[in-house]
Chains A and B, each alone.
Chain A
């Protein structure tokens, strides 16, 4: 599905990356713990999170995350928005909680991504 459709499905605001709304997305990862994102999220997925600090954008960049979906309608600090624009990472913000956000996306065929790394 296209990021534009994700935006509609979640009644989301586009905070950064308006130019990337035609991007195709297939997988998502939901977490509030950055170390889990680093441990398990696959490149090319959407990251659904309630965290809004600049580290979310840094991590998205490090991991080649396709887009960040901020849940619970949390306001983003200006420096987070700025960094997302600078690094060209699309950020959407939805009022829905993570449960609803993940539920809606899953119902539309987005699948989870879990990259299990062998010890």
Chain B
């Protein structure tokens, strides 16, 4: 399943890297502690977080995440967005909280398998 399909299904708003929405999502990681995400997430994960500062782009790039979804209608900080555009990392925004969004994505991925 690619990011575009998840975005469409869950009404996510796209903030950067529209040309990378065909990135395939193979799993998910939900978390707000950067050191934890760095240590435990995997390539191909969609990262669900409420952190908005620019370090998230560096982590998503290093860990080769499929993209980042910000929860609770959190918007990326200005420098985060610039960095995401430069690095071509998709950042999307959801109105849902982390639990609910995670639940929905988990179910979508499970159905897809």
Is there an interface contact between B103 and A31, defined as CB atoms closer than 8 Å?
A: no
State the Cβ distance, A67 to closest chain B Cβ, in Å: 14
Total interface residues on B, CB under 8 Å, equals: 25
Bound complex: CA of A107 vs CA of B50, how far in Å?
22
Q: Do A103 and B98 form a contact, CB below 8 Å, given A31-B50, A32-B36, A50-B33?
A: no
Is there an interface contact between B72 and A97, defined as CB atoms closer than 8 Å?
A: no
A36, A103, A105, most chain B CB atoms within 10 A = A103
A-binding residues in B (CB < 8 A): 27-33, 36, 40, 45, 48, 50, 72, 96-100, 102-107, 110
The A/B interface has a contact count, at CB < 8 Å, of 88
Q: Point out the residues of chain A lying under 8 angstroms from B98, CB to CB.
A: 30-31, 98, 102, 112
Is there an interface contact between B28 and A29, defined as CB atoms closer than 8 Å?
A: no
In the complex, residue of chain B having the shortest beta-carbon distance to the beta carbon of A105: B103
Is there an interface contact between A107 and B106, defined as CB atoms closer than 8 Å?
A: yes
State the Cβ distance, B80 to closest chain A Cβ, in Å: 17
A48 at the interface (CB under 8 A from B): yes
A1 at the interface (CB under 8 A from B): no
